[in-house]
Structure 1
Amino acid sequence: MHIEIFITTNYYIGCFFIYFFMLYYCYYFYNMNRKSKRILVYGIVLLCVFGMVVVYKKNSTLPLVILNAVRFYFAGNPTEDVGYAPVSSKDFTVSVLASGLTAPTRIALTPDGEYMIVTQLTGEVFVFSRKNGVWNNKSRLAGKIDTSVLGFPPEELGLVGAVFSSDYADTGNIFFLYTYKNSEGEIENRVSVVSLKERFGTLVFSADPEVIFTANVPGNFSHQITDGIGVSIEGKSHLLFLIGEGFDAKRAQDLTLEGGKVMVIQADGSNPLGVRPYPSFPKLQAVGIRNAYTLAQNQYDARKRVLIGDTGPDIHDRIIYAPFF
């Protein structure tokens, strides 16, 4: 308690001095000689470094968030001078279907191909419909997942995954993978499920989404829960999904922690069916994942192997090809 109060007090004192010297800088900078200007600038830099160190002691990820936000701000508009061209203009054309979205994270087509689900990091789930082979460029809101975070910038937290269940044609179920910041400020890796129903030519949530999974270890502002696929095991709907290690590499090899893993659960969040690779930890399908963002099942492979795009353990990223079932 004493250390926490000390850090908090010094943090606010540091902020006060930074603010004071910034005002001093604005009013008197142009009246100083060169040596005084240099001393003042060095002092401000040192105070900023001191403030970042204090913040790091309170929350080791916050300085990274601040730096990423600053970098994003000064990077400019990423769409400027960027164009898209088809590989073959004779066979393909490129056009903009919709604009004005806020950090879209996933695009998923319903199995019948009539609707397209688009999720935003901030939790909104939009639906585009198709009629006579032509997509409607006006989206409709199907529902919203409560993430209690603002999205990027400054953080990568929020709604990042949308997965149709293997029995979607019968149940209309869709899984949403996201991070949630609770009242204590801890980040939770979550999975919710909801049934979609057709209404007035679009899809909407039939009820409030139900949380079926919360990881047993806190997440982080990145390297979190990301993507999944709907699979059938012994005729029952399951979800196979990824959880990053939250910047703690030890989690990836610790079987007791639900981080840095490939996980599998039933549609209600219960333990999966079938033979399990780690019987004492039935929800674990594989270990050793760092920050995988996407996975897909090769439907043309007789073994139904799964491809995983993972951030590598060192300087190289990797694609993992694994027979999970």
Structure 2
Amino acid sequence: MLKLSLALTLTACAFLLLPLEKSSDAEPGKQAPQQTAINLTRLYNDTCAKCHGEQGEGGGAGTKTLLTLEKFGSQHDKLFFDAIKKGVPDMGMDAYGPTMNDETIWGLVVHLRELQNKYTEALVAGPKETEGVYTSQRAKFRLETVVEKGKGLAVPWGLDWLPDGKMLITNRPGALRLSQNGEVGPEITGIPATREIGQGGLMDVAVHPNYAKNGWVYLSLTDPSPTDPKAGMTKIVRGKLKIEGLTASWHSEQTIYQSKPETYSPSGAHFGSRIVFDKKGHVFFSHGERGSGEKAQDLTLPNGKIFRVNEDGSIPKDNPFTKDPNQLPAIWSWGHRNPQGLVMDLKGNLWDTEHGPRGGDELNVIQKGANYGWPLIATSINYNDSPLALPWPKEGQNFALPTLRWLPSTGACGLDVVQGSAFPEWKGDLVAGGLAGNGPVFRIRVQNGKVVEEEKLFWRQGRVRDVAVGPDGLVYVALNQPDKIIRLVPVK
């Protein structure tokens, strides 16, 4: 058992004896007691810092530092939680289950993780770089700029390739462009109207696996509301390109998925949206909950879902929610927050990465009909530093849990699987990007449903919008701030 000497005093947190959550026993017609406002930083400083230090450095009452890589591992999440809730009598630490609800106790664990990250981040900064060469756990590589800043990119969001090697790039404000050999063509004409609302706009681009035969290219975008100039919603379309060099026009457009007009929202948050083919005639795409977490638990609404449709937009008969006419038949999984990474691995498993609020970004294997719990469970806290939820289901709840959680947040965005001959040492591994902080890119190896390797390949290059493995097997990264495209090139 991990020995945590959190020598907290009951008098120091006497205010916690006030109601911490709404009562389920309120009399009919009477308002239940409201949750007491809790600021986790203040709570930690008032109760924990006297022994553990405001930064977790230890010292008071002989306590040891919590700022170690060993204690930062996710395997210790439950041990920290249990130590606070049940106490550690041998170390003189009281049990705080009687005075704190479970959500508050978990919030303190998240706060500890934030303190630990400030110390450990430099220790896990990624492979060592010497004269431009990065030496990772299994391969050496260098970073090479493919499209320079100032070449026509503005918040590049999605990447994919045509069979002739030309790269398609979406710009969130609404431009789709072709690129080859470092040059970027003019905006492709005729693409559907889109609206940049906060995080939304022109998002992913996905070239059909049989493009050489059918010519289809799929786009995800924020569709403008016809009645509200401030509102929009994620929409999926497909079309074809007439190409001359790096100049192209869009035609033959078809709508693959569109929400009902009454669901359109002016919120600038959480649109998703990635597009993936399973090469069995289906297309999957992700849809954020648009800042309305409760809607992720409603099967009559598109918010917070991953969808599966046939490539022409029709509904597969074996989708999990086709029997109830009130439920959306295109839904494949639900209870998501903002999935901005989606990929099918080499074994046919569907994976997503999605944002938590403050902490709790997730890597999930996506299963048919599964509920991923948002906002009823989360490994995060609220942005305002208050408790949110527990990371584990309560009795009677049946939620799919993440394969990997990032705590603090990495700002998960972009996900692909390594294939081809460029990086044989990484074949089958996932590569995932992040927007937060200094823009990390991770390599993740999963075996038998468990993460067996995770390393930060690099960071501090920019905010990572997409990570995509090209037809040459190289790992391409779309960066924002600065707006450019780079790639990882192997060094033998």
1:247 aligns with 291
Instruction: Give the superposition deviation at 1:204.
Output: 2.6
**Residues 138 and 206 of structure 1: CA distance in aligned 2, closer, same or farther (over 3 Å):** closer
Q: Is the 8 A contact 1:164 1:173 kept in 2?
A: yes
**Residues 141 and 148 of structure 1: CA distance in aligned 2, closer, same or farther (over 3 Å):** closer
2:176 aligns with 125
Instruction: Give the superposition deviation at 1:161.
Output: 1.1
Aligned partner of 1:297: which letter? M
Aligned partner of 2:187: which letter? L
**Residues 295 and 148 of structure 1: CA distance in aligned 2, closer, same or farther (over 3 Å):** closer
CA distance in 2, matches of 1:127, 1:230: 21
SS in 1 for 2:199: coil
Instruction: Give the superposition deviation at 1:257.
Output: 0.7
Instruction: Give the superposition deviation at 1:85.
Output: 5.1
Q: Is the 8 A contact 2:199 2:268 kept in 1?
A: yes
CA distance in 1, matches of 2:171, 2:277: 20
- 5+ residue gaps, structure 1: 1-83, 130-134
Q: Within 5 A, what are the aligned runs for 1:243-322? A: 243-273=287-317, 275-280=318-323, 281-299=328-346, 301=347, 304-312=348-356, 315-322=359-366
Give CA deviations for 1:183-227 in whole Å, capped at 9, x if unaligned: 322312211110124x33346345153333212322431211411
Instruction: Give the superposition deviation at 1:250.
Output: 1.9
**Residues 309 and 227 of structure 1: CA distance in aligned 2, closer, same or farther (over 3 Å):** same
Aligned pair count?
225
Greater relative contact order (CA < 8 Å, ≥ 6 in sequence): 2
Q: Is the 8 A contact 1:190 1:225 kept in 2?
A: no
CA distance in 1, matches of 2:164, 2:292: 40
158-167 vs 309-318, which moves further: 309-318
Instruction: Give the superposition deviation at 1:98.
Output: 3.0
- 5+ residue gaps, structure 2: 1-130, 370-492
Q: Is the 8 A contact 1:215 1:259 kept in 2?
A: no
SS in 2 for 1:251: helix
Give CA deviations for 1:164-184 in whole Å, capped at 9, x if unaligned: 223322111111101122232
CA distance in 2, matches of 1:93, 1:104: 18
Aligned partner of 1:221: which letter? G
Q: Within 5 A, what are the aligned runs for 1:175-194? A: 175-185=218-228, 186-194=231-239
Instruction: Give the superposition deviation at 1:146.
Output: 3.7
Q: Within 5 A, what are the aligned runs for 1:87-166? A: 87=134, 91-100=141-150, 101-110=153-162, 112=163, 114-129=165-180, 135-143=181-189, 145-149=191-195, 151=196, 155-166=198-209
2:399 aligns with none
Instruction: Give the superposition deviation at 1:136.
Output: 4.0
CA distance in 2, matches of 1:166, 1:93: 28
RMSD: 2.8
Normalised TM-score (structure 1): 0.62
CA distance in 2, matches of 1:294, 1:105: 11
CA distance in 2, matches of 1:183, 1:215: 13
CA distance in 2, matches of 1:223, 1:211: 21
CA distance in 2, matches of 1:138, 1:232: 30
